[in-house]
A and B are shown apart, each in its own frame.
Chain A
């Protein structure tokens, strides 16, 4: 009984404090120090994140040591990963602002991420072609609209037709914004409903059993 009730009560209480702590303009909440308590709990969440990161690292190591042991296809990459983890951990021993760690971040992590994301151009072309081949009406409409908007935003669009630029602008200002707002309204309501279910203790089954 206590094992179920106590964690639920703590979860609900914390949820209410963090929620009400956002309303800093309400005097009663300020008198009860709810904004300060709310900040404190959010800071605690950061500390928990740090502990979870250690578990995440152990998970990562376990997965790749397993791959090396069983000689699963691509196991040599796992060796590289383990070596990288070791090097980065050593570089970070003198603090998160150490020169060596910053050097690794600037010269390895950032270029690698940029390289991977730059592939998006080719992936977009490939996805568009595949979508075109499906013959779905919705996808065809999306592709036609994408082409109009792209042409309208290019310098070439001006020389092709001024109407095209106007249509492109209208698509971005009217139907796109209307659709986006509709989706965002639904997302906001879904987010609030999920949050309220957690605060009301309904989602407790997800967090503890």
Chain B
């Protein structure tokens, strides 16, 4: 009988192989159509609009860092920051970025400065546009919320994007954004916070949508390949679940 460890190792190897194969195919066939996600359309259009208004957009990266249990949510949100930083270098309109984690702060500052360095315009980059607020982890999210509320209340922003790890404290921030009539896009993998986002966010990235930022905003073949691999593996899971239910119903499984 196959051991549990061998099964999961084989699963990871299969998943990685599908990503690699889909990447090669995505490179050959560059114009893969992805279903529309309103939140990413809003983010894509926001920077030009913000530059016209002369206002920054705000990106909240949530309460997780890049070295904890929810690091992948933060890494996915950093794809949105990568997109915003490229746009910022073109429009000279820096986004305002806030994070509760110091590890994310360092990475976000580096990421935001990169396009400016590449264009030899580092003088236009303000490192204080990325702000460490504090309140890492689900237990102290209120601290982070307090800082973001202050930003949304006292700094005029053209749009508010909140992507990453958020808990109940999201409502405190999202509601202030909604009261100030700021266009909002919110997304998290935490199902406890999703109803709050639906109630206050204009566009919501639900669960796995959060991880699609790279494919939708950066259009990199690797991210698109990852998305296609997720779809394939999901269908494999669905088939396995249906098969097990059918076998159990027929009494063929103990």
Contacts and interface: CB of A to CB of B under 8 A. Distances in A.
Nearest to B208: A186
A195 B195 CA distance: 27
A119 interface: yes
A49 B67 contact: yes
Contact of B175 (A26, A63, A127, A180): A127
B125 to A, nearest CB: 14
B75 A198 contact: yes
A184 B190 CA distance: 9
B102 A53 contact: yes
B134 A189 contact: no
B226 A116 contact: no
Contacts of A59: 105, 127-128, 130-132
A138 interface: yes
Given A56-B132, A59-B128, A62-B128, A187 B207 contact: yes
Contacts of B189: 183, 187, 190-191
Contacts of A192: 12, 15
Interface residues on B, range: 35 or more
Contacts of A127: 171, 174-175, 178, 196, 199-200
Contact of A56 (B79, B102, B191, B237): B102
A26 B82 CA distance: 39
A194 B72 contact: yes
Interface stretch (B33-41, B55-63, B87-95, B106-114): B106-114
Contacts of A40: none
Contact of A190 (B103, B150, B200, B230): B230
Tell me the dominant secondary structure on chain A's binding face. Answer: helix
Given A74-B154, A183-B191, A116 B172 contact: yes
A62 to B, nearest CB: 6
B102 A197 contact: no
A23 B9 contact: yes
A142 B114 CA distance: 42
Contacts of A62: 128
A201 to B, nearest CB: 10
B169 A117 contact: yes
B200 A130 contact: yes
Contact of B199 (A23, A66, A131): A131
A191 B174 CA distance: 25
A206 B72 contact: no
B76 interface: yes
A123 B78 contact: no
B211 A193 contact: yes
Interface string B145-179: 11000100010000000000000110110110011
A167 interface: no
A15 to B, nearest CB: 12
A45 B71 CA distance: 12
Contact of B178 (A26, A130, A202): A130
B103 A52 contact: yes
Contacts of A180: 191
Contacts of B42: none
Given A56-B132, A185-B237, A193 B105 contact: no
Interface string B171-203: 110110011000000000101001110111000
B229 interface: yes
Nearest to B188: A187
Given A25-B3, A74-B150, A142-B195, A60 B132 contact: yes
Contact of A206 (B78, B198, B233): B78
Interface string B111-146: 100100000000000011011111000001011011
Given A183-B207, A186-B208, A193-B15, 6 more contacts: A23-B8, A23-B9, A46-B67, A117-B142, A191-B72, A196-B226
23 contacts: A26-B5, A52-B102, A54-B102, A59-B131, A63-B128, A124-B171, A124-B196, A127-B178, A127-B196, A142-B199, A183-B208, A184-B207, A186-B208, A186-B234, A190-B210, A190-B230, A191-B72, A193-B19, A193-B227, A194-B226, A196-B15, A196-B16, A200-B16
